Amino acid sequence: MKILITGICGYVGSRLALRLREHLEDADISGVDNFSRRGAHVNIAALERAGIRWTHGDARLPQDLQALPEADWVIDCAANPSVLAGTAAGSATPEQLASHNLIGTLNVLEYCRRHRAGLILLSTSRVYSVDALCRLPLRETPTRFVLEDPLPAAVPGLSEHGIAESFSTEPPLSLYGATKRASEIMALEYAAAFGLPLWIDRCGVIAGPGQFGRADQGILSYWVYAAALDRPLRYIGFGGAGRQVRDFVLAEDIADLVIRQISDPAREAPRIVNVGGGAAGALSLQELTALAAEFLGKPLAVAPTGESRPYDVPFFITDSRAARSCWGWAPTRGAREIVELLCAWTTGNPDVVRQFFP
């Protein structure tokens, strides 16, 4: 089996490649990366030690993909994952964002059509409606927002397990979320029109050792690194108390689902599934701060601010029951374990972390 990974030198792409090499020893694994993501160069050595080939190229350029060898499967990890991208607060223009996240995926789809390759599209929980998420029936506890119990009314895709695939995807989503939702739709159309194997995985917040996150992407790793290096931390919005909740999942756990999917392309299963840490993988910012302080062995000061940012939501926990029932998949680590892993890696690699927190 020949597997091509776009964005292979990024955090997610490299971890997927290494996990696939571990479990699919006979697979020919290669990839392409444009090195637009900070930290990508750090992952090259591990890929090369594992015998995984990489090429400098850009999915936004059709000629770069056309020059690549034929593959049986493509795993599309190339994207600008910032929820603020394309806005005044972001690091990219709307055109740049669409070029990375939509045009790049269209070029990947054309590669798949020409070579009759299957596609794993890594999507995001940011395809769900911001307005609908901000209207969730929530109450406050001292440390976090929680869903009302019992839930006062039926909301499609909402249960005590969190947000399922049938939850609203009505805009606004964020410009980032919109590009990923558009990519999902185009991938589904290509699969239907040309008979291509396709699985779409809507990932929750991905976190783990070696990820170089920012406040608008990879928040868990960003928070731990900033705490370890005594950088300022702020609770933004929602009363400035840090009660907003997200769930976290390891890239290696996502890879375990991908292995199942490429090994069984004809399975009768939904084309789109959520992939996240669920309730056991969820933390509020306040709870994250307490765990980081415990594992780093020092008190942490966090400044509250009433500032709000576009597209922030108070609560998101991934309902991954479809992935569990269809694929036998479940995350292997809970939130506390992920924070502990990340704190241990951070304290063991301070010089690497400082490269990205000058």
Counting the structural domains of the chain, the total is 1
Give the pLDDT of residue 41.
85
Q: What is the CATH number of the domain that holds 16?
A: 3.40.50.720
Closest to 200 in 3D by CA, of 214, 217, 213, 185: 185
For 219-242, what is the mean pLDDT? 94
Give the pLDDT of residue 358.
67
As beta bridge partners, residue 33 has 56
For 107-117, what is the mean pLDDT? 98
User: Model confidence at 89, in pLDDT bands (50, 70, 90)?
Assistant: low
DSSP 280-299: GGEEEHHHHHHHHHHHHTS-
Share above pLDDT 70 across residues of the chain, in percent, rounded to a whole number: 98
d(C-alpha 320, C-alpha 303), whole Å? 34
Judged against a pLDDT cut of 80, whether residue 184 lies above it is answered with: yes
d(C-alpha 223, C-alpha 300), whole Å? 11
What's the pTM value of the predicted model, to 2 decimals?
A: 0.95
Give the pLDDT of residue 92.
82
Give the pLDDT of residue 2.
98
Give the pLDDT of residue 231.
93
Judged against a pLDDT cut of 70, whether residue 73 lies above it is answered with: yes
Give the pLDDT of residue 88.
67
**Tens-digit pLDDT profile for residues 208-219:** 998 887 766 789
User: Model confidence at 148, in pLDDT bands (50, 70, 90)?
Assistant: very high
Give the pLDDT of residue 195.
97
Give the pLDDT of residue 114.
97
Residue 321 token pair? 């029951």
DSSP state of 195: T
For 258-271, what is the mean pLDDT? 96
Residue matched to tokens 């928040």: 219
Mean pLDDT across the chain: 94
Give the pLDDT of residue 223.
95
Residue 304 token pair? 């509250």
| Structural domain containing residue 132 | 2-354
3-state secondary structure of 73: strand
Choice among 149-158, 163-172, 273-282, 285-294 with the minimum mean pLDDT: 149-158
User: Model confidence at 90, in pLDDT bands (50, 70, 90)?
Assistant: low
Give the pLDDT of residue 330.
97
**Tens-digit pLDDT profile for residues 153-173:** 899 999 999 999 999 999 999
Residue 347 token pair? 């304290």
Choice among 43-52, 84-93, 227-236, 275-284 with the minimum mean pLDDT: 84-93
**Tens-digit pLDDT profile for residues 113-136:** 999 999 999 999 999 999 999 999
